[in-house]
Amino acid sequence: MNLQRPNVSEASGDGQAFSNVRKLINDVCDRLNVPERCRLKLNECERELIVHFPVKFDDGNAKIFTGFRVLHNDTRGPAKGGIRYHPDVTLDETRALAALMTLKTAVANVPFGGAKGAVICDPKVMSQDELERLTRRYTAEISIVIGPECDIPAPDVGTNPQVMAWIMDTYSMGKGHSVPAVVTGKPIEIGGSKGRFEATGRGCTISALLATKNLGMNPREATVAIQGFGNVGAVAARLLAREGCRVVAISDSRGGVYNQNGLNVDKLLAYKRETGAVCDFKDTENVTNDELLGVPCDILVPAALGGQLNQANAASVKTKVVIEGANNPTTPEADMILSDNGVLVVPDILANMGGVVVSYLEWVQGLQSFFWDESQVNEYLGKIMTNSFTEVWEISQSEKVNMRVAAYVLALRRLTVAMCLRGIYP
């Protein structure tokens, strides 16, 4: 058996993602006079586990993979955050995503902290059996830190309900009994919540409707462009179209399609399932991912990876509202350009929090073994999204700051109170 070693330089990452999140945390801590000990705690991740582990391939060879599980802060409750499978993911990015989860759960006011996990791998080139073996081994490696009372994973880019089922099963085998509450985003048949699969896209749709209403726009006359056609992007596209919006452009990792008269989202989904991509869909013009971000529209939903709206392309964005379906899709430089150009940016920690809200509901249902119907879940989600959106909007109006700063203000107020109440151990 050949055992390939990982390229370890990949694992460290020299990106800016975590320092960008820290900078904004520090700016808002200054504004709020947050006690120094709280600020210092928020500047670091509480725990970082790096694992290197072998996985057997179908051809008999094996490869060493590198994975992470980072817990940023669990002051307000057990840590919560997804697991990403992507060839370019780094420890730095995982830290940033974990910190965003701490802020997001605080904005949503659900009793969780923030965490994130990742494996550097390309799930697109692996068989289902290889993915299962990778997932089970990664789960065994991180099972010393995850658990229903301490750190609860969920899906993110490159992972899905099937991956969550393997995680739940592997963790349960180690305990000798089923532990459904160890992950959320599971299939409904093994304890998942109705409405969880659609929750993040549904939350983005609710955010888009509230934002357009507050700007005096009619959503039925709004045009929408969406980057990313996975869990978040595809659900947001379907639900926004159902609300009467005209979805004019959609992309995936291979590029996008555009038709100013509108796309049939359901037919495009079927086409993507059949061909593996959205490009060349009939009656549309192919566009690159960069061109998609610049198409004229009222609502732009980046729902793919981080850093997509940046200094190089922000000035060419022609939209009124950005709904950040993805985590960290806008760099600080792009944020300033969009703000100067009068674009309303609804930040990730508010716009895409629908997933973690329904994950909370799934966790509660799992712990009680008492399950709700979809209308109850959606009603609860609608209430929490509307409350948080309204709170952030009001802070942004009263303190004359953009919605990202306002969301950080709301989150850091809640986190500071909790950290002060708990104090420092011992």
Residues 6+ apart with CB under 8 A from 30: none
Q: Does 204 bind ligand NAD (CB under 6 A)?
A: no
Neighbours of 280 (CB within 10 A): 11
Find tokens 């060349």 and name the residue: 280
**Residue (of 180, 118, 170, 175) closest to 148 by Cα position:** 180
Torsion of CA 13, 232, 390, 213, to 10 degrees: 130
Pick 181 or 226: Cβ nearer ligand NAD: 226
Q: Which of 222, 226, 303, 419 binds ligand NAD (CB under 6 A)?
A: 303
Pick 29 or 119: Cβ nearer ligand NAD: 119
For the chain, the maximum distance between any two Cα atoms, rounded to a whole number of angstroms, is 66
Q: What CA–CA distance (Å, rounded) separates 71 from 49?
A: 9
Identify residues 316-345 at the interface with ligand NAD (CB under 6 A): 325-327
Identify residues 17-76 at the interface with ligand NAD (CB under 6 A): none
Query: Please, where are the H alpha helices in 158-195?
Result: 161-175
Q: Does 253 bind ligand NAD (CB under 6 A)?
A: yes
Fill in the per-residue mask, 362 to 401: x = in contact with ligand NAD (CB under 6 A), - = not in contact.
Answer: ----------------------------------------
Fill in the per-residue mask, 122 to 161: x = in contact with ligand NAD (CB under 6 A), - = not in contact.
Answer: ---------------------------------xxxx---
Q: Does 78 bind ligand NAD (CB under 6 A)?
A: no
Q: Which span sits near ligand NAD by CB under 6 A: 37-45, 171-179, 303-311, 330-338?
A: 303-311
- Whole-number Cα distances in Å, 358 to 102, 149, 281: 16, 17, 33
- Whole-number Cα distances in Å, 151 to 109, 183, 201, 244, 337: 17, 9, 24, 39, 37
State in angstroms the smallest separation of the CB of 314 from ligand NAD. 16
Q: What CA–CA distance (Å, rounded) separates 203 from 217?
A: 19
Q: Which span sits near ligand NAD by CB under 6 A: 173-181, 215-223, 299-307, 393-401?
A: 299-307
State in angstroms the smallest separation of the CB of 218 from ligand NAD. 27
Cβ distance 230 to 303 under 8 Å?
A: yes
State in angstroms the smallest separation of the CB of 105 from ligand NAD. 12
Q: Does 252 bind ligand NAD (CB under 6 A)?
A: yes
Q: Which of 161, 228, 294, 366 binds ligand NAD (CB under 6 A)?
A: 228
**Residue (of 195, 199, 196) closest to 183 by Cα position:** 196
Task: Determine the size of the site formed for ligand NAD (CB under 6 A).
Answer: 24
State in angstroms the smallest separation of the CB of 177 from ligand NAD. 27
Pick 191 or 354: Cβ nearer ligand NAD: 354
State in angstroms the smallest separation of the CB of 58 from ligand NAD. 23
User: Quick one: tokens of 281?
Assistant: 């869909």
Cβ distance 315 to 8 under 8 Å?
A: no
Identify residues 93-122 at the interface with ligand NAD (CB under 6 A): none
* E strands, 23-139, in order: 47-56, 62-73, 79-86, 113-120
**Residue (of 96, 98, 127, 107) closest to 307 by Cα position:** 96
Question: Which of the residues 116, 186, 194, 272 is marked catalytic?
Answer: 116
Q: 284: helix, coil or strand?
A: coil
Q: Which of 112, 229, 389, 393 binds ligand NAD (CB under 6 A)?
A: 229
Assess whether 116 carries a catalytic annotation.
yes
Q: What CA–CA distance (Å, rounded) separates 322 from 5?
A: 41
Strand partners, 168: none
State in angstroms the smallest separation of the CB of 42 from ligand NAD. 20
Pick 38 or 237: Cβ nearer ligand NAD: 237
Q: Which of 153, 191, 230, 347 binds ligand NAD (CB under 6 A)?
A: 230
Pick 179 or 305: Cβ nearer ligand NAD: 305
Q: Does 90 bind ligand NAD (CB under 6 A)?
A: no
Q: Which of 251, 319, 378, 396 binds ligand NAD (CB under 6 A)?
A: 251
Pick 117 or 219: Cβ nearer ligand NAD: 117
User: Quick one: tokens of 73?
Assistant: 């802060």
Q: 229: helix, coil or strand?
A: coil
User: Quick one: tokens of 302?
Assistant: 């980046």
Q: 217: helix, coil or strand?
A: coil
Catalytically active residues are 116
- Site for ligand NAD, rule CB under 6 A: 155-158, 200, 227-233, 251-253, 289, 303-305, 325-327, 352, 355
